Structure 1
Amino acid sequence: MLTSTERTARTRLRVTRTGTGRCRVRSAVTLSDPAASSLRPVLVHHDASTARVSLVPDGALLLAGDRVELDLAVDAGARLDLVEPGGTVAFAMRGGRAAWDVRATLGPGAVLAWAGEPFVVAAGAEVDRTLRVRLAAGAVLAIRESLVLGRHGEGPGRVRQRTEVLAGTEPVLVEELDLDPATAPALLGGHRVLSSVLVAGAPAPDGTDADRYDLEGGGTLWRRLGAQAHETDLSAVWRAVRDGTRSR
């Protein structure tokens, strides 16, 4: 829980396929405090069925007391490609905390492809980070992320990370990680970078067997650990997964 001094910035983004011309893209940003920093959706491209949106930080993120909320809705038959112009750094918080909460709902046959950039938890930071996704029949989720514990030459901060992906009411991936300076070295084998690619609702591409875990709920997870970001590079897997969702 954050304190009463938290600054909440909620970003809502919805993509709807209209069947004529271009798909409809609606967004809104709500701030609990004028000083709150937010994620601002910038429309890069859209056509009849697909929107490409960049999530641009509007201010410094993340600082103590920040609560960033992102609500995504991709309606039936539509596709949303999310990109980020750069990574996110959770800075030292001097006893404070921050939160990063993403909720996504995908309608029948919808696609969400999110090319996430590194999320860095600097020494002294404390972050609660959640991702909750619900997929309707025929929907596809593809997401890339990289969690970095500490900037170069420093120790890790603390991050509590929960991922919950459901196909209808059935779990595809439910995972909780609680990493802090005391536990992270043991849990991650001395590594500081954890990179992942997840696809749910679509088969794994051919030629991507390395570092691959086939999930009982029907999804596929690729994961690498390393001391440096280049050691955990999954860009080839991500391109194959992303391109596979485009051929649907």
Structure 2
Amino acid sequence: MSAGVRSTARIAARGDGRGGTALPALEGEGSLAVRRTRAAHADEARVMLVGAMSGPLGGDRFTVEARADEGARLHIGSVAATLALPGQAKGEAHYNVRLTVADGARLDWLPEQLISAHGSDLRVTTRAELAPGARLVLREEQVLGRVGEEPGRLTSRLTVHRAGRPLLDQELACGPGAPGGWDGPAVLAGHRALGQLVVVRPEFETDRPAAAVLDERGTAALTPLAGPAVLVTAVAPDALLLRRTLDAALLRLAD
């Protein structure tokens, strides 16, 4: 196994019995620090991930574990983009995110973009496990290379399970060594920013938004999933336009 930094952040939230959200676990180690910040809603706990060092670099393994128990409303963001870089250690870097949401709880996973710098090799795995009455808002954004730079190798897998059954399981590989066609017209069509927005809400069992193209360029689409959930996928020439597109989709789906 390649040498590298091992970093873990653990966050646990639960209802405090007074209409708010308590954080019985809030800890980070290695390159990941966690901070509670001012919440936008009275019943919410807001946590920000802080990268204490550069990375992930080659051979590093970062893990974020977050759990929202009954009565909790947990919002997780990050203070800056995550920059995947090549490192002295050889081998693939890993960034693993594990989200668990109980009945009657809500978790918003809304970090800043992940940038795949030239020469880097990163595998991102995000897995959400939801109870039947759970709510989830999950956004992922990837930017392939810095300005004027070719991307590194980036493999991203996103899975969402509800009541033990899969709602979504998708994987995308981009950059050097990825299967052919990733930059072709059927996938990214030359764009260098891509993102996903997943919204899971019990009300979608009976009132789920219909499939739609969300912009005049045809670069963003809303797709109902096989359950009370929808997926928005988008590509854009840069991170700013991607964020605007996903923000508009989130506003459209806001409860």
TM-score normalised by L of structure 2? 0.83
Q: Distance in 2 between matches of 1:91 and 1:221?
A: 29
Q: Secondary structure at the match of 1:93?
A: coil
1:134-175 alpha-carbon deviations (Å, 9 max, x no partner) = 111210110122111111111111111111100111111111
Query: 1:194 matched to which residue of 2?
Result: 194
Query: 1:14 matched to which residue of 2?
Result: 12
Q: Distance in 2 between matches of 1:129 and 1:41?
A: 19
Q: Distance in 1 between matches of 2:173 and 2:226?
A: 23
Give identity over the alignment, percent. Answer: 30
Q: Which amino acid aligns with 1:201?
A: R
Q: Which amino acid aligns with 1:137?
A: P
Query: 1:105 matched to which residue of 2?
Result: 100
1:175-212 alpha-carbon deviations (Å, 9 max, x no partner) = 11122235432342222110221101254679x86121
Q: Which amino acid aligns with 2:236?
A: G
Determine if contact 2:145/2:152 at 8 Å carries over to the other structure: yes
Q: Distance in 2 between matches of 1:217 and 1:159?
A: 29
Does 2:51 match 1:57?
A: yes
1:199-237 alpha-carbon deviations (Å, 9 max, x no partner) = 01254679x861211112331111111222234332122
Query: 1:224 matched to which residue of 2?
Result: 234
Does 2:38 match 1:45?
A: yes
Structure 1: 5+ residue runs without aligned partners? none
Q: CA deviation at 1:109?
A: 1.3
Query: 1:93 matched to which residue of 2?
Result: 87
Q: CA deviation at 1:238?
A: 2.2
- When residues 51 and 240 of structure 1 are mapped into structure 2, their CA distance, relative to the original with a 3 A threshold, is farther
Determine if contact 1:188/1:225 at 8 Å carries over to the other structure: yes
Determine if contact 1:56/1:84 at 8 Å carries over to the other structure: yes
1:77-117 alpha-carbon deviations (Å, 9 max, x no partner) = 21101122121110133643211001011111110112221
Moved over 4 A (4+): none
Query: 1:237 matched to which residue of 2?
Result: 249
Q: Distance in 1 between matches of 2:58 and 2:23?
A: 32
Q: Distance in 2 between matches of 1:138 and 1:28?
A: 24
Query: 1:132 matched to which residue of 2?
Result: 127
Q: Distance in 2 between matches of 1:23 and 1:48?
A: 9
Q: Distance in 1 between matches of 2:140 and 2:42?
A: 28
Structure 2: 5+ residue runs without aligned partners? 215-220
Q: Distance in 2 between matches of 1:18 and 1:163?
A: 31
TM-score normalised by L of structure 1? 0.85
Q: CA deviation at 1:30?
A: 5.9
**22, 25, 42: which is aligned to 1:27?**
25
Determine if contact 1:27/1:41 at 8 Å carries over to the other structure: no
Determine if contact 1:205/1:240 at 8 Å carries over to the other structure: no
- How many pairs were matched up? 236
CA RMSD of aligned residues (A): 2.4
Q: Distance in 2 between matches of 1:69 and 1:51?
A: 20
Q: CA deviation at 1:70?
A: 0.6
**64, 71, 75: which is aligned to 1:70?**
64
Q: Distance in 2 between matches of 1:142 and 1:72?
A: 13
